A and B are shown apart, each in its own frame.
Chain A
Amino acid sequence: GQQVMQIPQYQHVQEGEDFTTYCNSSTTLSNIQWYKQRPGGHPVFLIQLVKSGEVKKQKRLTFQFGEAKKNSSLHITATQTTDVGTYFCAPPNQAGTALIFGKGTTLSVSS
């Protein structure tokens, strides 16, 4: 079935370092969303990207949608301990009925 691949699966950084997670699809996507799940919590919607080459920023977070709309990335500048959690990308499924979620990238930050 349709899948999205997220890399890396895990990432540990020192506080203040940058972090990037990548999401790749074999098919062209109409849009892609990003979610964050804190340890023990539930996924929380961060952003949606729709246009080819789109770049959106939320404070220290930068989201990009590839020109071919087959990949996306989330970059965090100068990580903080509050950034700890798992980040999921989520495009619509092929049927266009619901979101499918990547397996996520789990970020840990040491101070």
Chain B
Amino acid sequence: EAGVAQSPRYKIIEKRQSVAFWCNPISGHATLYWYQQILGQGPKLLIQFQNNGVVDDSQLPKDRFSAERLKGVDSTLKIQPAKLEDSAVYLCASSLSGYGYTFGSGTRLTVV
């Protein structure tokens, strides 16, 4: 079974620039999550999708972050404009009916 694919692995941008991350979940997994992990902390949920609908985006800074999940499969997370405090690893995860969460390798974002 293929895992959760994320790209790019690393990204360095200047503050106020925009950036986008891509995630392809495990085939058949209806639920997709984006987490932000700041160095030295536990992952924090940004947004949860069920198929292509948003279930929970209460922790997403909507003034600069946006996410979509087209056709209930792939998802993109965008930051515009980026701030220094957005430097983190962005993890994508998927699950089947809320059991068996599988995480991707993550995208490490550095904002300078």
Does A associate with B in a complex?
no
